[in-house]
Structures are given as structure tokens and as C-alpha cells.
Amino acid sequence: MAVTWNTYKTVSQDVTYGPTGIATTTVAKGSVTPWNFGGIDRFTHRAVMTNLQPETSYTYKIDQRTFRFKTLPKDLKSYKVCVFGDLGFFHGNSTESIINNGLAGKFDFIVHVGDIAYDLHADNGRVGDDFLNEMEPLISTMPYMVIAGNHEDDGFNFTNYQMRFSTPPNGFNDNQFYSFDLGPVHWVGVSTENYGYYYAYGVDPVYTQYNWLKADLTALNQRRSQVPWVVTFQHRPFYCSNTNSAECQSFENRLVRTGWLDMKGLEPLFLQQSVDVGFWGHEHSYERFYPVADRQYWNGNDAYNNPKAPIYIITGSAGCHTPDAEFTDKPWPWSAVRNNDYGYSIMTVANGTHLRIEQISIDKKEATVDDFWIVKDLQHLHTSAMRNASPGVKFPPLKCHFKDVACTRSLKQINEEL
């Protein structure tokens, strides 16, 4: 278990830890990295607690402060994860609910799909400090897995994001993409911002991430019988049906999906490697899609039973400074459920064949506003041959909301592609 914390002055970076109630302790020797943002000196401390026993409560001490966490079972088959994006310090509508339910044991860890604090770097980084202090009662007790969104760009190549978070190593000293196994799921964090900011920081991060991702998923598929599910989390979605901006049809979103020039898009790779589920943020709403592949979709009664393509979920409604995202007047036929209440998602990993996804509404006092299961045989992988044998419905030509001027400008080219 890695622990990361920031201070305004140098302190000891070592962490003492041990099973709760036992006097014997171990010292995790940490590291410290000084950095300056907006004229404020900060020090990032990192330490890794090792040789932990499964299903055991541990107490750990940082300087004079004491915290606790509990490890997961050894032969983990089932667990719950809270997934959300676009949660700010100001107007963080879901924050209290997430903290209270997490402390009550309603889920085992968190995946934050970008746009953290709104913004980590605002007010010379003080907003990021305040947000992480607010979340500390929960994220000091369980893993807080993050991925960068467009609001993590601070003008200095994501310095605040890079410095504030630790992730599993990927061999490139870069925490913007990584993967890990937990029970029957291979989790993959992918940066859409390498694409979104290629003009500012170069195309090399796009190539590096793509090559790593291809190798990671190829290796995973050699042992897919042991780890049957692949779940990705990233920020800018391939598909959405919001009208509050041109983002659903923007060049940047299409770049992430299909690529441009020598930059390869992510959707063909997701299809080739049989990704099962993708979580996204960016749009401040919840939207669940039918299985979709390259602008085809499958919406029969058994669409989520041995799906023929990945299932994408936008969960960017946790709460921030902007109002609810608006939707098109009529749902696109490939969109199964849409909701713009403030809220967050809970995914239950039941076993190697069953996943359950629920959307919790803050507006409706934590009521569940969407609840569905994805079921597949252990050996099921969606393939191009399967899709060709049972063709999905082609997307109809897109239309813009009459108020969406930016969308109207860009739609002619998109419909020509369709």
C-alpha cells in the first residue's frame, strides 16, 4: 500500500506501520521531492508499506498523525468500487455522500476519472490542498486511484497531478497511465489528455502510451482465463449525447477515438483487445450506452449478455462549479440511460462472469437511478468476427441541438464520415 502526502515544509518521510493492536511496528523508508507552484514551496512524500497480510487492519503513523486501513482478502473474488469524475472542492455535491458511504464500508476503493478538485492548481495550488484535505478522512483508509482530465493541465505539463499522486509503476516514470489486477478484473487507467494536449506537450506521450497499452492488453489476454474482465477508466469519452457544448462532436474527442495523422486512436485497440467496460467523465452527467463499436450498436434484450462490444459509462456528475449537463431533446438510439442528477457510480464485481453497475443520485437522496448487470461466459471475448456475423445498427446521421452553434459548424464533416 502506497501512501503519499504533501507538506509546506520538510518533515520526516518515513511511515511506521503494523497490525492494529500489536505493538511491533515496521518502518517504510520514504522519499521526498520538493516542488514549487505559484510561488509556494511544497514537499511530496511517498512511502510504500510492504509485506502486508490479507484481510488485516493496519495502523500507520505519518509524523504525529495516525491512520488506519484494512487489506482485502487474499483470494479476492468480489468487491465494490466507487467511480466518478469531475468532483470539485467548491460545489462538490457528492463529496459528503462519498465520504460517509466509504467510511461505512459501502465500497472498497475509489476511481476518480479526472477533473480533480476543479482545479488542483487553482489559487496557486491551494484548492488542490483543500480538496485533498477534505477527502483525507476517506482516502487515508482506502486506495484512491486517479487519472488526469483536461482540468489537470496547469500550464506546466500536469505538474500538480504528477506531484500529488502515486500510481502503480508502468516503467516510464509517468503516472498518467497504468494498470493493476484486482481479483477477476484488470484495471487500466488511460490518459486522454496526452491526445488533448499533444499540441502543447508533443506527440511522444501519445505514442508511448499507445505502445504500452497495446503491450499491456496483449500480455493480459495471454492469461485472460485467470483475469477475465478488462475495465478501463479515462476522461474524455468516445461517445456522448450532451448539447451544452460541441465536445461530443469535437475534434479532440474524435482524435482520442479514431486518431489523426500518425497518432493512433484508442477505439480500434479497445475492440481488438476485447475491453469489457470503460468509465469516462468530462460530461457532467451520467450516460450508459449499449455495446458500441465504431458507430455500430447492439440494443437487443440480451445486449448486456455476452456483449458484442465494449460498454461505456459516463459518470461525470459528482459535482463541480458548472450546472448540470444538458442532453439532446431525443435520446440517441445507442444511448440506453441518461441522467443529469448529481451523483456517482458503484460497480460490484460479483465474480468472473457478473458485474453490476448502479448510479446513485444525490438529488434524489441517494436513490439508485440506474441499475444493470453485465454477464458473460468465462471464455467470452467480443471479436470482429462476432460483430460481422451479427451486425449492429449503424448510427444515423448526427443532428445538432438548435442552440448548439459550435456543433452545427463541425457537423458537416462528421456526417460525411458517417
Report whether pLDDT(405) > 70.
no
- The three cell numbers locating residue 388: 460481422
| Pair (199, 95) in one structural domain | yes
**Boundary of a domain, candidates 71, 93, 108:** 71
pLDDT score for 416: 54
State mean pLDDT over 280-308.
95
Report whether pLDDT(412) > 60.
no
| Pair (58, 103) in one structural domain | no
Measured distance CA(336)–CA(15) in Å, rounded: 47
pLDDT score for 143: 97
| Pair (88, 7) in one structural domain | no
- The three cell numbers locating residue 406: 459550435
Measured distance CA(168)–CA(362) in Å, rounded: 32
Residues with Cβ within 8 Å of 91's Cβ and at least 6 positions away in sequence, in order, are 319, 320, 321
Whole-number Cα distances in Å, 345 to 10, 286, 322: 38, 9, 19
Report whether pLDDT(31) > 70.
yes
pLDDT digits (tens, 9 = 90+) for 104-159: 999 999 999 999 999 999 999 999 999 999 999 999 999 999 999 999 999 999 99
| Pair (259, 176) in one structural domain | yes
State mean pLDDT over 69-85.
96
Give the end-to-end CA distance of the chain in Å, rounded to a whole number: 47
3-state DSSP helix/strand/coil % of the chain, to nearest 5? 25, 30, 45
Measured distance CA(115)–CA(187) in Å, rounded: 19
pLDDT score for 400: 62
| Pair (92, 146) in one structural domain | yes
**Domain assignment of residue 54, given as a range:** 1-71
**Boundary of a domain, candidates 28, 48, 71:** 71
pLDDT digits (tens, 9 = 90+) for 147-158: 999 999 999 999
State mean pLDDT over 334-348.
95
State mean pLDDT over 280-296.
95
| Pair (84, 67) in one structural domain | no
Report whether pLDDT(401) > 70.
no
| Pair (162, 235) in one structural domain | yes
Helix (H, G, I), strand (E, B) or coil at 289: strand
Q: Residue 52 maps to which CATH number?
A: 2.60.40.380
pLDDT digits (tens, 9 = 90+) for 222-272: 999 999 999 999 999 999 988 765 677 777 778 999 999 899 999 999 999
Higher pLDDT, 321 or 63: 63
Report whether pLDDT(178) > 90.
yes
| Pair (184, 242) in one structural domain | yes
| Pair (137, 36) in one structural domain | no
Q: Residue 285 maps to which CATH number?
A: 3.60.21.10
Measured distance CA(260)–CA(199) in Å, rounded: 13
Cis check for the bond before 119: say yes or no (omega within 30 of 0).
yes
- The three cell numbers locating residue 34: 520538493
| Pair (198, 241) in one structural domain | yes
Report whether pLDDT(16) > 80.
yes
Which pLDDT band, with edges at 50, 70 and 90, does 85 fall under?
Answer: very high
**Boundary of a domain, candidates 20, 52, 71:** 71
| Pair (123, 265) in one structural domain | yes
* Residue 155 CB-density burial (10 A; 0-12 exposed, 13-18 middle, 19+ buried): exposed
Q: What is the pTM of this model?
A: 0.94
Question: Which residue, among 405, 386, 311, 296, has the nearest Cα to 355 in the 3D structure?
Answer: 311
Q: How many domains does the chain have?
A: 2
Which pLDDT band, with edges at 50, 70 and 90, does 404 fall under?
Answer: low
Q: For the chain, what is the mean pLDDT?
A: 93
| Pair (64, 80) in one structural domain | no
Measured distance CA(196)–CA(192) in Å, rounded: 6
Range with lowest mean pLDDT among 93-102, 185-194, 256-265, 355-364:
256-265
pLDDT score for 245: 55
Q: Cα-flanking dihedrals φ and ψ of residue 310, to 5°?
A: -65, 155
Sheet of 109-112: strand order equals 144-146, 109-112, 79-84, 343-349, 354-361, 367-375
